[in-house]
């Protein structure tokens, strides 16, 4: 007769802990085909457009120093030229955030994740931790290297990393993209549909600022600076711009947006079935 193996026993130390959930989400993140593709696309678009705008400005007869308008870096100033890829790169990293969370609802994998982590909230916080860590580790150096390359192309028209506010603006560009990724992840978890979350990301970053700018000044002036894209522009700008918040206030506004959307996503995750 065949001897049956004794039933497997679960180790007493096999508890669900925060680091273990983060490790599990990291394994899922690097296992997804979309993760390296979207990250590579974000880096390539950011660098290619930044260097391209810098080359255009170097050959143009436009006087550098044109202030950046709300909604994105201007390609007419040395800093804005090097950071000109932010506008398109934000859509790519926002898409990655959406796919990271809404994709699990599309495949049904979210039920397995929540069965393994019954308290639920660590799943979303672990996803946000992994996405933020990877984005910062990759995009902040990309912003720094793109800026240095762009200023090398600009030559005498360029500015130095040591000029007032420049280092903060360059590092802020990478951090802003990481924030957009978190916004996408929060919307993906909140709406639970890839199409709806992607539409919301595009609307929040591009459509709403344009619509608000068409409103009367008595309405648009109090609203416009607090939109995510314009708050990010405040972090990535140097000099005074009356249409934007201060860099510190812009960073605070971005933090409020992320915490508010993640909080709503966590609340729905706790109260609604997957």
d(Cα 236, Cα 255) in Å, to the nearest integer? 15
- Contact in structure between 123 and 89 (CB atoms under 8 Å): no
Q: What are the respective helix, strand and coil percentages of the chain, to the nearest 5?
A: 75, 0, 25
Does the pLDDT value for residue 162 go beyond 60?
Answer: yes
pTM of the predicted structure, to 2 decimals: 0.88
The total number of residues written for the chain in this structure: 274
pLDDT, average across residues 108-137: 90
Cα distances (angstroms) measured from residue 218 to each of 67, 191, 208, 224: 23, 32, 17, 11
Q: Which two tokens stand for residue 43?
A: 């880096």
Cα distances (angstroms) measured from residue 118 to each of 4, 25, 232: 32, 15, 36
d(Cα 203, Cα 228) in Å, to the nearest integer? 11
d(Cα 234, Cα 179) in Å, to the nearest integer? 14
Percent of the chain surpassing pLDDT 90: 58
pLDDT, average across residues 29-42: 92
The pLDDT tens digits of the residues spanning 198-232 come to 999 999 999 999 999 898 888 888 999 999 999 99
pLDDT, average across residues 109-129: 87
**Run of H or E including 78:** helix 78-82
């Amino acid at each position: 007769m065949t001897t049956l193996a004794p039933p497997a026993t679960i180790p007493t130390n096999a508890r669900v802990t925060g680091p273990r959930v983060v490790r599990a989400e990291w394994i899922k993140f690097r296992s997804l085909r979309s993760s390296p593709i979207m990250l590579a696309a974000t880096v390539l678009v950011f660098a290619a457009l930044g260097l391209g705008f810098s080359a255009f400005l170097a050959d143009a007869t436009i006087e550098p120093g044109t202030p950046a308008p709300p909604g994105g870096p201007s390609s007419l100033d040395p800093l804005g030229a090097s950071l000109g890829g932010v506008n398109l790169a934000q859509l790519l990293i926002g898409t990655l955030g959406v796919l990271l969370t809404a994709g699990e609802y599309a495949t049904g994998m979210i039920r397995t994740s929540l069965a393994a982590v019954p308290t639920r909230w660590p799943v979303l916080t672990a996803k946000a931790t992994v996405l933020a860590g990877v984005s910062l580790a990759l995009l902040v150096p990309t912003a720094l290297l793109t800026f240095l390359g762009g200023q090398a192309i600009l030559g005498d028209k360029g500015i130095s990393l040591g000029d007032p506010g420049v280092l903060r603006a360059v590092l802020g560009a990478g951090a802003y993209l990481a924030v957009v990724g978190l916004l996408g992840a929060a919307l993906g978890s909140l709406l639970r549909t890839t199409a709806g979350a992607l539409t919301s990301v595009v609307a929040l970053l591009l459509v709403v600022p344009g619509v608000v700018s068409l409103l009367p000044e008595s309405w648009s002036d109090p609203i416009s600076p607090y939109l995510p894209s314009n708050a990010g522009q405040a972090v990535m700008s140097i000099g005074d711009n009356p249409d934007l918040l201060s860099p510190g206030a812009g960073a605070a506004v971005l933090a409020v947006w992320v915490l508010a959307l993640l909080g709503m996503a966590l609340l729905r995750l706790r109260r609604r079935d997957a």
